[in-house]
């Protein structure tokens, strides 16, 4: 997870996609669906250059469950900091942080762990006091 945080901070889509399976699936916080490492990398390259430029990501494993010795499901809490201009359909918290719940299915092949599925759901900010 630390390598993902680091790649995000550097805006390095290639490094961010490095452990993504060639045939993996990705659903982003806006509900857009993508398939394959190339699409995962291209999508992140686009947002690193635009709406998420200069942001940082912090991932924390909430639960990790091994379905088999070579398949794990990771439920993560994600915080995207410094997002002053979130894309339409996504709202930041008052501290300019976007919080999400991220589900990853991880598969071990030939001794390496790969992200086979990546499903991201935004945590809605509380309504303003009024």
pTM of the model: 0.89
Q: Per-residue pLDDT tens for 45-96?
A: 999 999 999 999 999 999 999 999 999 999 999 999 998 888 877 888 888 8
Q: Per-residue pLDDT tens for 85-129?
A: 888 778 888 888 999 999 999 999 999 999 999 999 998 866 666
Q: Give the three-class secondary structure for 15.
A: helix
Across-strand partners of 84? none
30 to 16, 26, 34, 63, 100: CA distances (angstroms): 19, 11, 12, 23, 11
**Section 3-25 average pLDDT:** 97
């Amino acid at each position: 997870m630390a390598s993902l945080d680091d790649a995000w901070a550097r805006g390095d889509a290639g490094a961010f996609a490095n452990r993504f399976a060639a045939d993996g699936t990705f659903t982003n916080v806006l509900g857009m669906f993508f398939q394959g490492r190339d699409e995962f990398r291209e999508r992140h390259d686009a947002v690193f250059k635009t709406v998420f430029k200069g942001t940082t990501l912090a991932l924390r494993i909430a639960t990790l469950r091994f379905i088999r010795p070579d398949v794990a499901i990771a439920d993560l809490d994600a915080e995207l900091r410094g997002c002053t201009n979130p894309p339409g359909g996504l709202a930041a918290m008052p501290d300019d942080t976007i919080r999400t719940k991220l589900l990853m299915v991880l598969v071990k092949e030939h001794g390496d762990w790969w992200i086979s599925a990546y499903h991201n759901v935004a945590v809605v900010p509380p309504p303003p006091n009024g």
